[in-house]
Amino acid sequence: MHSAPPIPHRLRLHFPALPDDNQTVPSTSFYQDPQTVSPFRPGALVIATLTNPREKFWGAILHLASEGLSLRGVDIAGFDELATQIKNGEPFTSGVVFFPMHRVERMELDLPEGDILSLAQRFAQKTGQDPAPILTSEFLANPIAHSPGHASGEKLR
């Protein structure tokens, strides 16, 4: 295997720091320090794939721990019904569930893929509202009252 010849100095590119470059801001890459930046934090919109029985659930993370996952949202099958309910001005109540970790097969962030909109984008398109405040405002404002083990009306599945 041959190595490439060195690039002459006159052909090397040099990009000096610009005065408006902020070189003191630390990187927040998840891969550099997964303890401080987690995409699966309270308030993140996710799709959870569950086993026994197999189902998919869309919602906002309220709490994630080794015991399980607390979400506020709906089964994917009820997504369109939820959007219609919100569009018609009906309040969104309940939908708080706890899944023991042995049921959580997979969890993914609700992100768009190419030209396919995320469920959050579809929700906003149908209702004219951002789903995050609807799904999290009451619960993230008072996390202790809604933690697992507190009598918060969570459904057990």
Residue 69 falls inside a structural domain: yes
pTM metric for this prediction: 0.65
Sheet harboring 104-109: ordered strands across? 104-109, 45-50, 55-65, 68-75, 96-100, 155-156
Domain hosting 114: range is 40-156
Average pLDDT over residues 89-102: 86
Band the pLDDT of 7: cuts 50, 70, 90: low
Is 59 inside any structural domain?
A: yes
Q: What are the residues whose beta carbons fall under 8 Å from the beta carbon of 4, sequence distance 6 or more?
A: none
How many structural domains does the chain have?
1
Classify residue 3: in a domain, yes or no: no
Tokens of 30: 């998840």
Q: What is the C-alpha separation between 79 and 137, in angstroms, rounded?
A: 19
Question: Measured on CA atoms in the order 79, 82, 84, 86, is the torsion positive or negative?
Answer: negative
pLDDT at position 23, please?
Answer: 52
End-to-end CA distance of the chain: 59
3-class SS letters over 21-68: CCCCCCCCCCCCCCCCCCCCCCCCEEEEEECCCCEEEEEEEEEEECCE
Q: At what angle do helices 119-127 and 79-87 cross, to 10 degrees?
A: 30
Q: Rounded to whole angstroms, how far apart are CA atoms 85 and 82?
A: 5
Asked if residue 35 is part of any domain, the answer here is no
Q: Is residue 1 part of a domain?
A: no
Buried b (16+ CB within 10 A) or exposed e, 12-38: eeeeeeeeeeeeeeeeeeeeeeeeeee
pLDDT at 9 over 60: no
Q: Answer whether residue 93 shows pLDDT above 50.
A: yes
CATH of the domain at 55: 2.30.30.100
Average model confidence (pLDDT) for the chain? 77
pLDDT value at residue 10? 55
Q: Are 71 and 46 in contact (CB under 8 A)?
A: yes
- Structure tokens, 73: 């949202």
pLDDT digits (tens, 9 = 90+) for 72-83: 999 999 999 989
In a domain, 94, yes or no: yes
Contact present, 97 and 76 (Cβ < 8 Å): no
pLDDT in tens, 11-68: 555 555 555 554 554 444 444 454 556 889 999 999 999 999 999 999 999 999 999 9
